[in-house]
Amino acid sequence: MVRSGLRRYPREIVASIREKHTEPEVRIDPERRIVDPGVALAAAWLGHGSVLSYIGGRWVLVDPVFSPRIGPRIGSRVLGLGRKIEVPPIATTLPAIDAIFITHAHFDHLDRPTLERLANPGTVVVTPRRTARLIPSGFGDIVELAWHRPTRVKDLEVVALEPRHWGARRALDLRRGCNAYLISGGGRSIFCAGDTAHTHAFDGLRGVDLASLGIGAYEPWSHQHATPEQAWEMFQKMGARYLLPVHHSTYPMSDEHPDEPMERLLRAAGTETHRIVGRTLGELFVERDGNEDSTGPG
């Protein structure tokens, strides 16, 4: 792990010092409608761990990160990793967001510049314990949610579960929480694991329509991030219907080739690759009356 970091981080930090920092290009358009009325469920991968979902008549974002670089800020500079792919068009003008879910405080999941752009009195932020102070002002409410304590957010039923990961913001900041989320509404349920190594904590879940699981950043970090094969196993054991793979091929965080996670996931799925949706950045998966319809990049 040390060798992997030394190969990558010094080079990226130097590059971040030299380049001009730009804030994420994203805005909210309350009049925008991405799906037709009557759609039961929709979801799109927006890069790295970011997921946009429509469930129970509500738009929700999980771990929105649209910044070209992630990491601590010093003035106008971000000392961190650079994005290798662009923010998809679907993310540049979003519908009014009802709720934002933050899984943990790492810079690649809790990105303050993105959240500052998304701040709105009509949006509720749900975040793990001891992380509320990291959320920028301007939101309608900020809810710290502990594990296994259900709550309601904008007509949605939400419960936080324990992933196999950690929630530090900085090296010695070890007391912050780390959540996975089960979100239910309108007769549908989605599960967003955030970052997690292989775990049996989600085996007992039932009735999940769409599961979002990370498949990348495992080399040499498999003790904190599941491999594609492990993600497929967890997906099968929770009995979910569709898998939306995330946390791959965006930021240069690990040693595997950017294309490797998806290739390995498809091999692991074998004859069930039709259950893997949202493989392309910004591709909107839509379910109407029990039938899926992938509409392509947004």
Average pLDDT of the residues of the chain: 88
Q: Can you read off the two tokens belonging to residue 164?
A: 């196999």
Give per-residue pLDDT as tens, 230-283.
999 999 999 999 999 999 988 888 888 889 999 999 999 999 999 999 999 999
Mean pLDDT of 277-297: 77
* CB distance 42 to 34 below 8 Å: yes
User: 191 or 91: whose pLDDT is higher?
Assistant: 191
Give per-residue pLDDT as tens, 68-105.
888 777 766 677 777 766 778 888 889 999 999 999 99
* Domain assignments of the chain as residue spans, ordered by start: 2-297
- Least Cα distance to 43 among 281, 293, 278 occurs for 278
Name the pLDDT band for 297 (thresholds 50, 70, 90). Answer: very low
Give the per-residue pLDDT at 216: 94
* CB distance 125 to 179 below 8 Å: no
Non-local (6+) Cβ contacts of 131 within 8 A are 102, 104, 105, 110, 144, 167, 169, 176, 177
Give the per-residue pLDDT at 86: 73
The model carries a pTM of 0.90
Name the CATH architecture for the domain at 2-297: 4-Layer Sandwich (3.60)
Give per-residue pLDDT as tens, 30-72.
777 777 878 999 999 999 999 999 999 999 999 999 988 887 7
Residue 18 phi/psi, 5-degree rounding, is -75, -30
* CB distance 213 to 231 below 8 Å: yes
For the chain, state the CA radius of gyration: 18
| Signed CA dihedral, 83, 86, 90, 92: sign only | positive
Give per-residue pLDDT as tens, 113-139.
899 999 999 999 999 999 999 999 999
